[in-house]
């Protein structure tokens, strides 16, 4: 967040919503959020299919669409590369205290793109209307319009790639509050149009508050290091963003247990941060969901404050949170990590590919006329900078190994390109073609697909 001084002659502060916004007596509004520069989409709105070569570094195609011509509400679609099956459909609502942020800004574009790549999901990032120009419930209405639009599969990308039986609502902070309220509306008569329940909600540091402070909120001012969100500023938030129409006892910001327990979702993920003043309300929300019979994942990030993952996405705690969210959305036993997917052999790059050399010192190098051998390979990557051990198998003869030995350490080098960071274990699979080589019996390059098991 950026600290800035009030404009000359703006007067004293009338509403202090730091670190998002300040309103001065003279009517001047000072917006404090940085990372607001817009990022252009990779595709224009007329393209019905993602074009190879126009993807972001993480292999994600993006395109902007208008959801509601009357209100002007729009969204950015994030489609991971190499899609062969229908994907989970995630409606994502950005944070920003209902007054700042954009689906097209660098901060939230980066997060939504990473989410699409890591979870292997089609993400619809909704650019909802903001207060004070559009007081709540405008953002809630926009969220509902986005859900109806997305589940209708009217857009070509949605019709071709989205799985309407796997719909998720997600967001952080104010965006999590929007996701909750959209889910509440889906539980009522307005949701009768949906053939399936919402598969899940993923609420990251949700912005819930109340007229009466919890014990941890009352003690926040006594901390050696004050929280990013001060309780007295949160007291002023809801009356301001509703245009004075509601107070902090509003069930949309202080949801009653019956609303939470009746959400039309099978599963839920709630993430809280240790230093966040909103932590206890998030934990209470998760407990209410459990009492309602939902399968709930509670993720607690130690030593972190509100929305830390947006501003420091490379931190271990932020990476772990993204992994948990991705696993929640795509909870398969072995989930492909799209950021390591090279479009199913449409291209090859050394630093994210699988390299396989079959050494056979007892046999002469294969002649140039030797047949090509297709293969798959699997194994474990044991260190962030070292090679892998694994086994390769022919596609046409699944029981025949390409190389000898259970791990092929002596005869096969399986290398995923240079990486830095903490050593870790994970599995991988690869697919490609063994071509004749005079250096060794066979050598090959192939696509490597990271999997989390």
Burial of 338 (0-12, 13-18, 19+ CB in 10 A): buried
Distance CA 198, CA 38 (A): 31
Q: What is the pLDDT of residue 44?
A: 78
Q: Residue 97, SS3? A: coil
Distance CA 278, CA 78 (A): 29
Q: Are 379 and 439 spatial neighbours (Cβ–Cβ below 8 Å)?
A: no
Q: What is the pLDDT of residue 46?
A: 62
Q: What is the pLDDT of residue 196?
A: 78
Catalytic residue among 74, 113, 173, 389: 173
Q: Are 185 and 198 spatial neighbours (Cβ–Cβ below 8 Å)?
A: no
Q: Residue 103, SS3? A: coil
The yes-or-no answer on residue 306 being catalytic is yes
Q: Are 116 and 338 spatial neighbours (Cβ–Cβ below 8 Å)?
A: yes
Q: What is the pLDDT of residue 112?
A: 98
The yes-or-no answer on residue 386 being catalytic is no
Q: 356: which strand partners?
A: 444
The CB-based long-range contact list for 177-180 (8 Å cut-off, 24+ gap) reads: 177/98, 177/206, 177/207, 177/208, 177/252, 177/253, 178/93, 178/128, 178/139, 178/140, 178/143, 179/91, 179/93, 179/143, 179/203, 180/206, 180/255, 180/260, 180/263
Give the pLDDT means over successive 10-residue stretches in the chain (453 positions). 46 92 92 82 74 60 96 97 91 98 96 96 98 98 98 96 96 99 96 87 99 94 86 97 98 97 95 98 98 96 97 95 95 42 28 32 36 40 33 31 31 31 35 40 37 34
CA distances from 364 to 265, 284, 367, 374 (A): 61, 68, 9, 20
Residue 53, Cβ neighbours under 10 Å: how many? 8
Q: What is the pLDDT of residue 11?
A: 78
The yes-or-no answer on residue 276 being catalytic is yes
Given CA atoms 65, 68, 70, 71 in this order, what sign does their dihedral have?
negative
Q: What is the pLDDT of residue 373?
A: 39
Q: What is the pLDDT of residue 222?
A: 79
Domains of the chain, start order: 33-333 (3.40.50.1820), 342-452 (no CATH)
Q: Are 43 and 55 spatial neighbours (Cβ–Cβ below 8 Å)?
A: no
pLDDT tens digit string along 364-394?
333 344 443 333 444 433 333 333 333 333 3
Q: What is the pLDDT of residue 451?
A: 37
Classify 81 in phi/psi space as left (phi over 0), alpha (psi -120 to 50) or beta: beta
Catalytic residue among 306, 330, 353, 443: 306
Q: What is the pLDDT of residue 326?
A: 95
Catalytic residue among 127, 142, 259, 276: 276
Q: What is the pLDDT of residue 449?
A: 39
CA distances from 134 to 20, 23, 100, 270, 336 (A): 16, 16, 12, 28, 41
């Amino acid at each position: 967040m950026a600290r800035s001084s009030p404009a000359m002659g703006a007067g004293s502060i009338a509403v202090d919503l730091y670190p998002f916004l300040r309103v001065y007596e003279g009517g001047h509004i000072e917006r404090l959020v940085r990372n607001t520069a817009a990022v252009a989409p990779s595709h224009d709105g007329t393209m019905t299919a993602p074009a190879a070569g126009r993807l972001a570094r993480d292999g994600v195609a993006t395109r902007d669409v208008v959801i509601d011509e009357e209100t002007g509400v729009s969204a950015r679609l994030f489609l991971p590369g190499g899609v062969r099956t229908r994907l989970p459909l995630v409606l994502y609502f950005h944070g920003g205290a209902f007054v700042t942020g954009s689906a097209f800004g660098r901060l939230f574009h980066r997060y939504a793109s990473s989410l699409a790549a890591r979870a292997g999901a089609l993400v619809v990032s909704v650019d909802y209307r903001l207060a004070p120009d559009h007081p709540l419930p405008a953002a809630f209405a926009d969220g509902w319009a986005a859900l109806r639009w997305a589940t209708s599969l009217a857009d070509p990308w949605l019709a071709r790639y989205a799985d309407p039986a796997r719909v998720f609502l997600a967001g952080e902070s104010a965006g999590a509050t929007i996701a909750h309220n959209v889910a509440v509306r889906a539980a009522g008569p307005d949701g009768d149009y949906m053939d399936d329940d919402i598969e899940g909600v993923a609420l990251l540091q949700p912005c819930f508050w109340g007229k009466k402070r919890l014990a941890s909120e009352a003690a926040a001012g006594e901390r050696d290091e004050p929280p990013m969100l001060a309780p007295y500023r949160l007291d002023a938030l809801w009356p301001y963003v509703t245009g004075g129409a509601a107070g902090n006892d509003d069930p949309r910001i202080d949801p009653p247990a019956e609303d939470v327990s009746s959400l039309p979702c099978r599963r839920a993920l709630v993430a809280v941060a240790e230093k966040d003043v909103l932590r206890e309300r998030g934990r209470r929300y998760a407990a209410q969901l459990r009492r309602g019979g939902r399968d709930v994942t509670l993720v607690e990030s130690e030593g972190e404050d509100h929305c830390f993952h947006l501003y420091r996405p490379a931190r271990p705690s932020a990476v772990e949170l993204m992994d948990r969210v991705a696993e929640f959305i795509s909870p398969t036993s072995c989930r492909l990590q799209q950021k390591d997917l090279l479009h199913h052999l449409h291209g090859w790059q050394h630093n994210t590919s699988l390299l396989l050399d079959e050494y056979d010192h007892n046999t002469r190098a294969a002649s140039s006329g030797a047949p090509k051998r297709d293969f798959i390979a699997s194994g474990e990557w044991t260190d962030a900078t070292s090679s892998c051990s694994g086994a390769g198998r022919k596609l046409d003869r699944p029981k025949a190994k390409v190389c000898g030995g259970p791990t092929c350490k002596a005869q096969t080098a399986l290398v995923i390109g240079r990486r830095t960071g903490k050593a870790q274990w994970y599995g991988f699979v690869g697919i490609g073609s063994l071509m004749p080589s005079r250096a060794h019996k066979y050598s090959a390059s192939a696509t490597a697909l990271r999997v989390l098991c």
